Amino acid sequence: MRNRFFERLSGYKRVDSLGAYKHNVDFEVPPYNPLDEKAWSTYLDLLSTYKFIICFENQSVDYYLTEKLYNALEAGSVPIYWGCPHADELYNSSAFLQLKEESTGAMSALIELIKHLDTNDAAYNAMLQAPPLLDCAKADEDFKNRISLIRTAVETPAVRLVSQIKILRDNAVYRIGDVVYARGYRWEQDRQTILTDDQYKGTILRQYLERLPAKSAPDFALLAEVVNNMQHARPAEDELVIHMRAGDVAQFDWFLTQDYASIIRTQHGIKKVTFVTAMHYGNFVERNLWLYTDESRDRNHSAFIKVFEAIHKEFPNLKMEIRSREHPDEDFYYLCMARWVSFDRGGFADCARAVRTAIADIPAKQASYAQLHQDRDVLEYLKDKRNGYFVDVGALDGKHISNTYLLEKEYGWTGLCCEANPTTFKKLVKTRSCACIDGAMYSIDGLELEFTCADALSGITTHQDTPNVAHQQKIAAGSKIKVRTRTLTSVLDSCGAPAHIDYLSIDTEGSEMEILQGIDFTRYTFGFIDLEHNYVQPRRQQMHLFLKSKGYRHYKANQWDDYYVRDSLHEIGMRHATDKFNDRHSYMGESYLHIYDRYFRPIRHKVRAILEIGVLNGCSLRTWREYFPNAHIYGIDINPSCKSHEGDRITVFIGDQNDPKFLQRVRDQIGLVDIILDDGSHITRHQIQSHQILAPMAKHYYIIEDLRCSYEQHLNHHDVRSIWPGMRHNDPADPLKNYRSEFVDFVQEGVKAMDFHTLNNRIKSITHHPMIVVFELIPPTIRAPKCMFTTFGNERFKHSRERIICEAQKTGLFSDTRLFTEKDLGEFGVKHGPFMRQNKRGYGYYIWKPYVIHQMLNSMADDDILVYCDAGCEIRAEHRERLVDYLRIVESSSYGFLTFRTPHKMFHYTKADLGKAMNISDAIWNDNIHVAGILIIRKCRHSFEMVEEWLKWATTDYHYIDDSPSVIANHPQFKEHRHDQSILNIILHKRKTAIVPFNETHVPNNGPLSASRIRI
């Protein structure tokens, strides 16, 4: 259905596919993570740029309704929905379009309606203004809770399914099926009938199983034993149970999720895999029974043997079992009681490879005492840290399902265990060597509250808000006592706990938020926080917002817990193993990263670019990338192997820090950056020269590290080329010697400039920390050049072109804004008008773009700046400061051109005929392509010549700009020709341009100029 509709609608207008299915966009799609406010807002912002959003379920089933429709409505778009035929019982049918029939006629009628809405603003806006939910859904808490559950469950699909099965089981609801459906908006059992014993015994499947040659085929001994000796035990804790429809064995069709391998990898404890077959359910038509026929028996028999032999051969160290019972409901019980279960579809070959790889990757030490391997998760995050400090609140007996027992017994940790249930506390003090604290942790000291003793479900009575019916019954049956409360701060103070605690675990059945409120986060910090949530809202969201306000971010989640980590630079650097936090780069317990955090944190989310001289193993670059979420990270190194550390938001330039021409080329290419760190050669002459050339491009800080090396006695008696292998690439004639007096004189010149208020001096302060000097800078000022804005749009883009002109004017940066239409093309329009009208894509493949820009530059004075955006783009005035940065970059660059570099290659989007005609090198073919819909140009001889050349190649021969096939064979990975963009990029790569990462234009609300593709 989805494929058919996609193809038919694409015949009317381009349809962007953001996911893996028919993926066709060249921009980065933000992650789907509702727990991260920024990520979720970015995701909705992206959806909001589309007039229509196709929301097709995986299948059309009564009351199978996911969050897709809800998300589209929340984004302020008009959803096109197919799936649950009863969606209009909850959602207002006036707010979305629904395909209720799968016929070609129904599709055609719906597409005609979409066309009508696309061209009729009044009708479209009426749908946007319609209330999305019906009154019955607005008032129904179950519906709200379900949406909340869907939106905040950030686990993998397989783990989320486990959670749903557990919810069903604990509420005594039984379900046999591939997917847990929702009836309406309540979790309910789908109606079905299980085969009786007599019905089952009469099936060909049963006869087939009984005929298996167990004695003559040793591999089937286990299967025969399982069939003939029914066991009523629950699955083991280390057992993965896979639901496999018996009839599908013959087709090698195993029911697995794509996250199956990751479950094994991350849980570190699966030692047995059990395949449960003979699940009979559904509407009892032949295709749902999956029973064998006499005619196919021999074929199925052969296939079954082949599969069983293959799995034993592939996984000799993994204990395997196949259950095929006479009572399908008992097999279903076995499935539901499994700790790990997979109910989804996948191929046997993929399964075999995934399991084999996963087993090989599992560490030798797999022990875990925690319920969901929380202890292993902590150790994985903290790199198997030893001798750490933990605080375990709700510790129970200290061993059974304990999150900290493994840390204490095998990794040498110490800490605190807190438990309020007197019965389990007695067991705790016998089990653990660490300090054990009785009493209930809370937000206030000294309160007397009622406490329910119910084993692992014990907690403060008024806060036990579990939605689990079975748990509610156990809690109701528990005994009541009175407990006195303590804040965790007072407990930590009395026990002499360290200021930094590596791991905080809180599992108190509902009072987790109150315990957090009793912590003084100004005095105590935590490396890893583990909170049980059990999907209870609004408590889960309250804890999330509270910890976010304290400087912690959501790391990930398991079945019942949320993990949070401290967002400090020191913690991030430790994880990425940068040497900036080790003892060699620390003094009095304070590392480089502690110092930098104080400087950088106030501007952390405003930083757009950082340059570090000295890449080495790339650890620092990756640290900066995580710490500065909106920045592009640039590195300089003389060692060519450092180029391998490039990646998402990381660019590495290879060259000599002692080469002024190389530094100038870097400066011209990247323009202004917020911060520069010199961790390069440590040779004073190199540092001074780098500062002289690069400091003008730094906005806030210029930092030089490892000042010990400037002392003669520390560096000069060493063979630095052997100490730092990268320096083998330096000029052999360079003695690489240091003289402290040179560095002192250099810093003193900066001090003198401040003391005498030297004209054009930008140094605000110079601070000497142990082994570091920090130049705090005043951001550079630029003259007020005449800045102009232009765009183009034909009548089809009437609303978009007028909208973007208004957005440009609201920034207050442009002295003039010019809108070109097809009526403003003059003789150019007369000459090329037929070509433009005949080729609707880009109104003549954007042939008008270089002409429009050429006309604007002709009317401008030298050094004036032009900003061009396609009419479908957006200008966000709230990011005005960053737009000013762009103007500064292009003004200071000798190239006069600023473009946005994508991760895609030239050979993907350039026809071979054009490449040959323009005589491009292999290096250009393999370089990255730049955005052509957003350009910033300073008029100068260099930029003007580039635009003239662009216009010439676009208009001399239409073959170079249109979609006509290339005569010469294209690159094997060629996707499509990108018309004016392909021509411009060849010129840009030959003549050079200043570069900004394209995520600032292609991630919604991430920069001032957004390639939103708005087409209204």
pLDDT (average), residues 314-331? 49
Distance CA 395, CA 420 (A): 9
Distance CA 136, CA 23 (A): 37
Distance CA 624, CA 604 (A): 10
What is the DSSP annotation of 832-875? HHHHHHH-TTHHHHTTHHHHHHHHHHHTS-TT-EEEEE-TT-EE
**What is the rounded average pLDDT for all residues in the chain?**
76
pLDDT over 60 at 130, yes or no: yes
Per-residue pLDDT, 381: 83
Residue corresponding to tokens 């509702």:
34
pLDDT (average), residues 268-282? 50
Distance CA 23, CA 974 (A): 16
Q: Please choose, from the candidates 394, 415, 362, 530, the residue with its C-alpha nearest in 3D space to the C-alpha of residue 459.
A: 394
Per-residue pLDDT, 155: 29
> Which segments within 751-810 are labelled E, that is strand?
763-769, 772-777, 787-792
Distance CA 654, CA 636 (A): 6
Per-residue pLDDT, 596: 92
Distance CA 897, CA 639 (A): 29
Distance CA 911, CA 909 (A): 7
User: Using one digit for the tens of pLDDT, what is the confidence trace for 998-1015?
Assistant: 778 776 667 889 876 554
Selected residue with higher pLDDT from 334 and 755 = 755
**Structure token digits, residue 237:** 């804790």
Report the first-to-last Cα separation within the chain, whole angstroms: 28
SS3 210: helix
The DSSP bridge pattern shows strands 448-453 and 479-486 to be: antiparallel
**Structure token digits, residue 504:** 């905080």
Selected residue with higher pLDDT from 296 and 987 = 987
* Number of other residues whose CB lies within 10 A of the CB of residue 379: 25
R_g of the chain computed on alpha carbons: 33
**Structure token digits, residue 405:** 């027992």
Q: Please choose, from the candidates 671, 733, 736, 676, the residue with its C-alpha nearest in 3D space to the C-alpha of residue 710.
A: 736
Taking each helix axis from N to C end, the angle separating 157-170 and 260-267, rounded to the nearest 10 degrees, works out to 80
* Number of other residues whose CB lies within 10 A of the CB of residue 491: 20
Q: Please choose, from the candidates 796, 804, 907, 915, the residue with its C-alpha nearest in 3D space to the C-alpha of residue 844.
A: 796
* Segment among 242-251, 679-688, 779-788 with least mean pLDDT: 242-251
Per-residue pLDDT, 167: 33
Distance CA 691, CA 685 (A): 10
User: Residues 495, 414: contact at Cβ < 8 Å?
Assistant: no
pLDDT over 60 at 568, yes or no: yes
- Claim: this prediction has a pTM higher than 0.85: no
> What domains can be seen in the chain, in order of their start residue?
2-139 (3.40.50.11660), 197-361 (no CATH), 398-567 (no CATH), 609-777 (3.40.50.150), 787-1010 (3.90.550)
- Long-range contacts of the stretch 471-480 (C-beta < 8 A, 24+): 471/170, 475/509, 478/452, 478/453, 478/454, 479/452, 479/453, 479/454, 480/450, 480/451, 480/452, 480/453
Distance CA 938, CA 890 (A): 6
Q: Please choose, from the candidates 351, 279, 286, 344, the residue with its C-alpha nearest in 3D space to the C-alpha of residue 59.
A: 344
Per-residue pLDDT, 320: 54
SS3 476: helix
Q: Give the model's confidence band at 332: pLDDT under 50 very low, under 70 low, under 90 confident, else very high.
A: very low
Selected residue with higher pLDDT from 541 and 26 = 541
Q: Who contacts 826 (Cβ-Cβ below 8 Å, separation ≥6)? A: none
Per-residue pLDDT, 280: 34
